Structure 1
């Protein structure tokens, strides 16, 4: 009597399909931009179906919001991981900015779309931007609330400082991409501006 071996399933988990859809949207943004991307483009690049898309997202905008949220979370993770709180504070700033710009350069089109396209999403945009801003503020305040920085006369960043830092660097990244420049080329400007903003007042 032959033993029957159960057939191996190749079905992807729901999380796998969701990630494929996010990757498909990211690729379409790179190829044609967010505004010209359609659900059909996302589905085609994700190699899945419209039915699968609508099982995970109610439309293109919620899919975009999920992609931007994941990209922002990954950026924050990379920045936090790059900083050693025992380093001199200027080194900490340089490493944080370097990690930020590296993360933006990894997905230039998505980073640019986050800056330029999210504001066009109406109420969803306001909620998304507020949430992303709060996460960024928390990260900046956590990174600047260390013994090394306090010893150097650098206090915990205020909300206003964190907002200025985010807004300035986002605009610098966006204009650099739009001008066809290399994000790495703005590192020194971004580092020096951040040191000036966060450094001792006296």
Structure 2
């Protein structure tokens, strides 16, 4: 079954799905519903009942799959952050033989498009994560570190100073993206891509050797 099939509610009555496929479908629908429900009430204001209603599953099913709402959030966070990481790594691999300008344009376009196309997931791992607790915040910091590595690769960072500069740039990008997602204005992200590329080009070897 593909992802779109997993997200569909199972048909009533007899079907030909295995137990594993049924559980996978239920789990996927719950994880998607967690992100969607939080766009209304935030993490704190989203009861499990709101997730169940969107996912079309029973409370019993929910607690067979997750220990708690926090456990469900953490699984949803892993789901969306892994999807983003996979997209970025694919683009990086495809851009190995391209020039720095093309590489940066494609990576940033992929990153911003991911946020724009799925704002519920973006809100989950950029905004609501801070309301969950220390373990979720640590996961968010780990994700930020991985994004800093993407920026370092994108800009050809080699020295410790360059990698530190890339970490600060990644943090600045993360803050700008978080602010726009929190303000329900993801479309405005498209407007900062060219400015970021211009900044990197003006900075010489500050961030890396891509535009040296």
Same fold (TM > 0.5) = yes
CA distance in 2, matches of 1:192, 1:28: 38
* Structure-2 residue corresponding to 1:26: 35
Q: Which residue does the alignment assign to 1:3?
A: none
Q: Does 1:180 align with 2:203?
A: no
Residue number in structure 2 paired with 1:4 = none
What is the count of residue pairs matched by the alignment? 187
Q: Deviations over 1:97-126 (max 9, x none)?
A: 110000111122331342222123222124
Q: TM-score scaled to structure 1, two decimals?
A: 0.77
- Show CA shifts across 1:34-81 (max 9, x none): 332111011111100111111121122221122122211111221222
Q: List runs of 5+ in structure 2 lacking aligned partners.
A: 1-13
- Contact 1:161–1:198 at 8 Å: present in 2 too? yes
Q: Secondary structure at the match of 1:169?
A: helix
Q: CA RMSD in A?
A: 2.7
Point out the structure with max Rg over C-alpha: 1
Q: What are the equivalent positions in structure 2 for 1:48-127 lying under 5 Å apart?
A: 48-83=57-92, 84-127=95-138
- State whether residues 93 and 194 of structure 1, in contact with CA within 8 Å, keep that contact through their aligned partners in structure 2: no
In structure 2, C-alpha distance between the alignment counterparts of 1:53 and 1:110, rounded to whole Å: 20
CA contact (8 A) 1:76 1:139 kept: no
- Deviation of 1:194 after TM superposition, in Å, equals 4.8
Aligned pair partner of 2:198 in 167, 172, 192 = 192
TM-score, normalised via structure 2 length: 0.74
Q: Give 2:3's aligned residue.
A: none
Tell me: CA distance 1:123–1:175, structure 2 relative to 1, closer, same or farther (3 Å). Answer: closer
